[in-house]
């Protein structure tokens, strides 16, 4: 669809009459978007999709009759229309939303809790994500063979005052959970680097995502807590609503959390992480910028490049939304551009290098 020639046609699916009225009102503020219909559940939605062929669908997670997960399965397999899930800020809905992203939903939006200010904030996010979804490349669900949890190797604890070696820092936004679901299971437990992940998500979702990833990975994956040591073979996910930085301490490198103000509209921010990684790790860092809308992480990854670290971006062909990688690539900060498979391989090779080896510029694909 060329959104410059006609409006983005949106179907809103929700069993709440209030939400079915609210979302069209918020979207109508943008002249490029038109809500063409609403539906009270997945069953009605499927019929309207076949009749009206929307460009984007907002789909409630929890509905009677045909719920959002069931409806999404039909939409993904039969219609291949970008879907934004609408979720409540609950652990149950977070788990269902992870399932929806796994099945092929492009992104999700949380229902507002609070007054008019929260509604206006949601409106801006909703418009931006609908536009991004309309431009997105439809990605089939990522298939990852499940690994036996009982075979997981625990990350080795570091003795005091011993360097943790290298660090892999990963930043992602829209489409990121599925990209992480592809990359992290392909990293071996004996990799010679700690891993830090910033994924734009609310705080009630990041712990669920970390557990969702841990279940299929050989490495440990957990939501970061203040003071957690960074150790090889362990991935720490920044909690929602907190910036994460890395800091060398007497016990070894550790993560610090701070509830400040959003940076680039986000908390946690990829730029905040990457800047601290540049300062603390320099050329011992490998930074990856994955799918997502906006520019968060672009300047931070530039600082890692200037500090001698290795910089990688996901290519357009495998991104759900190419915004964040494109911003970093266009600014000249990226050494290697590749698919998710390429990135997983590059990280294993980069982390396996000795501290004295130099990382050469890779050829951009």
**CA distance linking residue 170 with residue 173, whole number of Å:** 10
Catalytic annotation present for 200: yes
Q: H or E stretch including 17? A: helix 17-27
Q: How far apart are CA 171 and CA 296, in angstroms?
A: 8
Helices 176-183 and 91-103 cross at an angle (nearest 10°) of 70
| C-beta separation of 264 from 271 below 8 A | yes
Determine the Cα–Cα distance for residues 134 and 174; give it in Å rounded to an integer: 13
Q: CA 94 to CA 138: how far, in whole Å?
A: 22
Number of H helices, E strands in the chain: 11, 14
Q: The tokens of 156 are what?
A: 């080795």
CA distance 57 to 286: 36
Q: Is 163 helix (H, G, I), strand (E, B) or coil?
A: coil
Spatial CA neighbour of 350 closest among 173, 151, 183 = 183
Q: Which of 200, 243, 266, 310 is catalytic?
A: 200
33/36 Cα distance (integer angstroms): 9
Active site residue 190: no
Q: What does the block give as tokens for 365?
A: 């694909």
Catalytic residue chosen out of the listed positions 136, 173, 242, 276: 173
CA-to-CA dists, residue 286 to 60, 132, 275, angstroms:
38, 28, 13
Residues recognised as catalytic = 173, 200, 296
């Amino acid at each position: 669809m060329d959104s410059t020639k006609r409006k983005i046609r949106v179907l809103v699916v929700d069993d709440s009459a209030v939400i079915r009225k609210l979302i069209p009102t918020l979207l109508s503020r943008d002249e490029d978007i038109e809500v063409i219909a609403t539906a009270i559940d997945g069953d009605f939605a499927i019929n309207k999709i076949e009749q009206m062929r929307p460009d984007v669908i907002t789909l409630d997670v929890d509905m009677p009759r045909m719920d959002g997960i069931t409806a999404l399965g039909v939409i993904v397999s039969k219609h291949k229309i970008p879907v934004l899930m609408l979720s409540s800020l609950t652990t149950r809905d977070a788990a269902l939303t992870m399932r929806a992203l796994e099945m092929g939903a492009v992104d999700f939006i949380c229902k507002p809790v609070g007054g008019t200010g929260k509604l206006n904030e949601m409106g801006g996010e909703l418009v931006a994500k609908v536009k991004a979804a309309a431009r997105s490349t439809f990605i089939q669900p990522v298939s990852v063979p499940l690994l036996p949890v009982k075979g997981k190797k625990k990350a080795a604890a570091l003795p005091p005052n011993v360097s943790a070696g290298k660090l892999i820092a990963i930043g992602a936004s829209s489409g990121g959970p599925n990209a992480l679901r592809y990359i992290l299971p392909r990293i071996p437990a004996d990799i010679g680097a700690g891993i830090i992940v910033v994924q734009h998500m609310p705080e009630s979702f990041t712990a669920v995502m970390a557990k969702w990833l841990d279940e299929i990975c050989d490495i440990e994956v957990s939501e970061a807590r203040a003071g957690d040591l960074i150790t090889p073979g362990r991935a720490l996910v920044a909690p929602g609503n907190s910036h994460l930085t890395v800091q060398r301490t007497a016990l070894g490198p550790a993560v610090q959390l701070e509830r400040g103000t959003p940076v680039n509209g986000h908390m946690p921010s990829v730029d905040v992480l990457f800047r601290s990684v540049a300062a603390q790790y320099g050329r011992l860092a490998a930074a990856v910028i994955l799918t997502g809308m906006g520019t968060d992480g672009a300047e931070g990854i530039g600082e890692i490049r200037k500090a001698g670290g290795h910089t990688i971006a996901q290519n357009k062909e495998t991104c759900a939304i190419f915004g964040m990688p494109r911003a970093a690539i266009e600014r000249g900060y990226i050494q290697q551009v590749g698919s998710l498979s390429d990135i997983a391989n590059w990280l294993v090779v980069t982390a396996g290098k000795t501290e004295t080896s130099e990382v050469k510029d890779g050829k951009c694909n």
